[in-house]
Structure formats: structure tokens, C-alpha cells
Amino acid sequence: MEKKNIALIGYMGTGKTTIGKRLASRLGLSFVDTDAYIEKQQGKSISRIFEQEGEPAFRRMEETVLETLVEEENLLISTGGGIVLSEQNRKLLKERTFLVTLTASPGAIYSRVRGNTDRPLLQEADPYQKIVDMLEARKPYYEIGDIIIPTDELSEKICIERIVEAYQKS
């Protein structure tokens, strides 16, 4: 099956939105952020969904949105960091998209997201340790990308160039 979309996976703060928007523009793709899509669809923030309906309900919303998006064409899909927790989502992403994993060290992620109250999973006494623990738990899920890009080691421009090169060869 031909892969007509690119999807970005990775932990929060790895650059999915920033790199995704620039990459979509460069390749003439429409940029879609699954979290923003869900917020618009539900009429409330991800934080509010977590608070009112819980994480399992949010994860079901993610599955539904992803099923819809992979049916479309010419999209750059920037996913929420936990979308890979679902085996169904991992399968869809791997089979139906050119899948890019963005990574960063816990320290880089922490410096990018600290103080951000829109990240419900980081509303902890020790958010840095939460990042370390979650990265370790999700590591095997993030390793499924067709290409893995360390965003804390490379400039935004080089990240985009490497993705474009790999995508064009796929």
C-alpha cells in the first residue's frame, strides 16, 4: 500500500509541531495536529478532556481521529506523544504513513515544556522524573519510525532535510 501521508511521532517537546509545520510547507502537504483536531472536534482543551473524561476516553478519541486521517492524502500528521500506546494506532501509522520519530533527551524536553500547564501528564511534583519514566516506558513504541531524528542534536533545518531525503527515497 502506498503511503500518502507523513506522520510524526515522539514524546511531547520533541518538535513535532514546529518541525511538522515547516516540513508540511516544504513538501506542499496540509498540516494536521491530532491534539488540535480533537480539541476542535470536542470544543475543549486536552487538559479539560483528561480532567472531565479521563485519559482512556482521550485515547479512544485519538484512535478515531487517526483512523479518519490515514484515509486522507497529502497530510503531515503531527500526533500526540501517547498515540503510540495503542497497538492499533502503531499498526495504522506503520502501515499507512511514512513514519518519522522525533527524539530528544529528557533534559532538552524538560527545558522545552517546563512551566507549560497545557500538558496534563506533567502536572506532577517532579515533572523531570515523569519525563524520564515515560520516555523509558514508551521507548519501544517510538522506535517504529521509518526514520528516527534526534531533534536536540540537529538543527531544525537539518532535521527537515533528513526527513525530506528519506521520504523521497521511500
In the annotated binding site for substrate, the residues are 35, 59, 81, 138
Known binding residues are: 13-18, 35, 59, 81, 119, 138
**Can you name the residues that pair with 76 across neighbouring β-strands?**
6, 31
Dihedral of the alpha carbons of 90, 94, 96, 101, in degrees to the nearest 10: 90
Residue 35 makes CB contacts below 8 A (sequence gap 6+) with 46, 80
Q: Which residues contact 170 (CB under 8 A, 6 or more apart)?
A: 3, 98, 146
Binding site, annotated residues for ATP: 13-18, 119
Annotated binding site for Mg(2+): 17
